[in-house]
Amino acid sequence: MEPYWVRIAKQRMRDLGVTQSDLLDVFNVTTRGAVGHYFSGRSAIDVDQLEALSKKLGVRIDYYESSDNRLALDDVERMLDSWLLKFAQADLVEYKTDITTLKKLMLSSLSD
């Protein structure tokens, strides 16, 4: 089974039309084959390379899948209920619409 970071990177590469040859600078190598060694596990990716790969592909790529860092929409909704009201009560923001409408808009953008 391929590492999590490889699955995410390959999918993003397909989406963007990026090839392993386009990643020579990320891994500081001179051949596509050398890049392939990272994707096959023959060479170990380091933190700097993973960060450079994330930047190159325009998406955060973690080494491991970490479901505990991801929130369900229900969790986000509860946080928004609390935060939006607290921001308004503290006079940190002034909403031009009601909080419920704002929350629905924010949640819909996350589920797209």
Average confidence (pLDDT) per 10 residues, the chain, 112 residues: 88 95 96 96 90 90 62 70 82 82 78 54
Q: What is the pLDDT of residue 73?
A: 65
For the chain, the domains span 4-67, 71-111
Q: Indicate the pTM of the whole model.
A: 0.57
Burial letters for 61-75: b for 16+ Cβ neighbours within 10 Å, e otherwise?
beeeeeeeeeeeeee
Torsion angle (degrees, nearest 10) of CA 74, 76, 80, 86: 110
What number of other Cβ atoms are within 10 A of residue 31's Cβ? 12
Domain spanning 4-67, CATH class: mainly alpha
Instruction: Put residue 90 in one of left, alpha, beta given phi > 0 → left and psi -120 to 50 → alpha.
Output: alpha
- pLDDT, residue 27, reads 96
